[in-house]
Structure 1
Amino acid sequence: MFNQPIPAVTKNLLIINGLFFLATLVFGQTGTDLGTILGAFYPESVNFRPWQIITHMFMHAPFPNISHILFNMFALWMFGSTVEHALGAKKFLILYFAAGLGSFVLFNFTNYLQVESLKPIVEASGVNIQDLILNASNPNYRVNTTNIEATRELAAYYRTPMVGASGAIYGILVAFGVLYPNAKLALIFLPIPVKAKYFIPVLIALEFFMAIQNYAWNPIAHFAHIGGAIIGFILVRSWKKNLHREW
């Protein structure tokens, strides 16, 4: 299953992600942060641009944090090749982008709930919300507030972009589980083979658990992963009955 040649769409997605990462390194040397241009900001942020809804899927944390892109590209190669062979190029491409969009939507919906709950708290602390939105990304911006923690948390929603192919990858991972539920997976941190129909739901459950904990130290967009997983499940469940292949 995993020894098949890399099909065209998966190969090109690997190349595009690699080129974006290389461009991030090159432009970074000139002082241009592509993460602020191509990463996806919260839609109310002054840094948000419509193209970010698509481009964030190809952006990853810059060097030296290469584990982000390495893990995603390994998963894209490992599962994407098999899923593309099963679905065909067109459906696989739809899956990748639809899961990426689903991750953006769910992530920002949960952000919206958090932001709207913080606004009255921060406003009551003496902060002008519109002023905060306009200046959240300015490192020299200073504000007088009686609730510094809530103010910092609200500002972070406006100045921190979401980057990564993880939402699309989770859509592909779930698609693999739907298509090949009895395939046994043995990963580095779990060397014992476990069937995909058990492993993947547990992984998604862990993502949900981490998402609702909302740890301040945890920079991972867990709800983005869940959004991609949901779209992957819905799409492939609807397509599976029309697929004809050997099991």
Structure 2
Amino acid sequence: MGNVRFGGGFQPLPPVIKNLIIVNALMWLAELTFKDALITPLALHYQGSPDFGVWQLVSYMFLHDASNFFHLFFNMLILWMFGTQLENRWGAKRFLIFYLICGIGAGLIQLIANQVELNIVMSKYNSGEMAVNVAQYRAAMIQLIQVVGASGAIMGVMAGFTYLNPNQELFIFPLPFPIKMKYAMVAYVLIDLFGGINPRFGGGVAHFAHLGGALFGFILVIIMNRNNRRTFY
């Protein structure tokens, strides 16, 4: 049976969106079964870790917190909400490339943020502001820092959607009134920026990955919209 289509050929669940949701759901179920056997090779580790691999810049975005179903659920819901229009507009191949580049860019920005954070802590230690053993802290960073989730790539999708539909209104719980997408996107970016530069309020969230995804999304969609042609293949 063929795909159900709306008027004008619009697909409510286009193929890349559908397959991304399926793959992410299957990977989440696999994490429940295999746990560290998947996390160790596929999560994005701190670049100084012996477990770090370049492929993790892609693989990490297909993993989610196995203990939190809503991490997966809301990521996939937002992907469908905002990505569907982009895939229908650009086509499957172009949208997939856009999504992957946003996710890779998000991972790269998070790796840079990890290194900057480590350098800041080390400088405080060297200045006598912190009584911490450098080797112990570095070892802790290597062991503890690992990033999973599609949030960075999805922030890129939201950025692309916002650029193309800045005045699209949506309801955001618990606000009782609609808000334009351009204002919602600015709010999300500011929240992530605040969380990123204030680790005490970060809550274990990779805020700089979110910001990196949004940055790459904006840059890519500007390039694509300017050229108005299939730039990436």
**TM-score, with length taken from structure 1:** 0.80
Structure 2 distance, partners of 1:177, 1:41, is: 30
Identity of aligned residues (%): 38
Question: Matched residues in 2 for 1:185 and 1:217: separation?
Answer: 26
Q: Deviations over 1:196-243 (max 9, x none)?
A: 121111211121111111117610000000000000001111212455
Cα distance per residue 1:42-88 (max 9 Å; x no partner): 1111111222111001000013x112111101111111111111222
1:183-208 CA distance string (max 9 Å, x none) = 11112333421111211112111211
Which ranges in structure 2 are unaligned for 5 or more consecutive residues?
A: 1-5
Instruction: Give distance in 1, aligned partners of 2:202 and 2:180.
Output: 32
1:42 aligns with 2:49: no
Are the aligned partners of 1:186 and 1:192 in contact in 2 as well (CA < 8 Å)? yes
User: What is the aligned residue count?
Assistant: 219
> Structure 1 stretches of 5 or more lacking a match?
126-144
1:141 matched to which residue of 2? Answer: none
- Match for residue 195 of structure 2 among 210, 233, 237: 210
Alignment of 1:151-230 (within 5 A): 154-159=138-143, 160-215=145-200, 218-230=203-215
User: 1-side partners of 2:136 and 2:175: how far apart?
Assistant: 38
User: d(CA) in 2 for partners of 1:187 and 1:243?
Assistant: 32
TM-score (norm 2): 0.84
CA contact (8 A) 1:42 1:108 kept: yes
Aligned equivalents of 1:117 and 1:194: distance in 2?
Answer: 38
Whether 1:114 and 2:100 are equivalent positions in the alignment is no
Distance 1:6-1:152 versus aligned 2 partners, 3 A rule = farther
Deviation digits for residues 81-121 of structure 1 (CA, Å, limit 9, x no counterpart):
11111222122111111111111111111111122333466
Secondary structure class of the residue paired with 2:200: coil
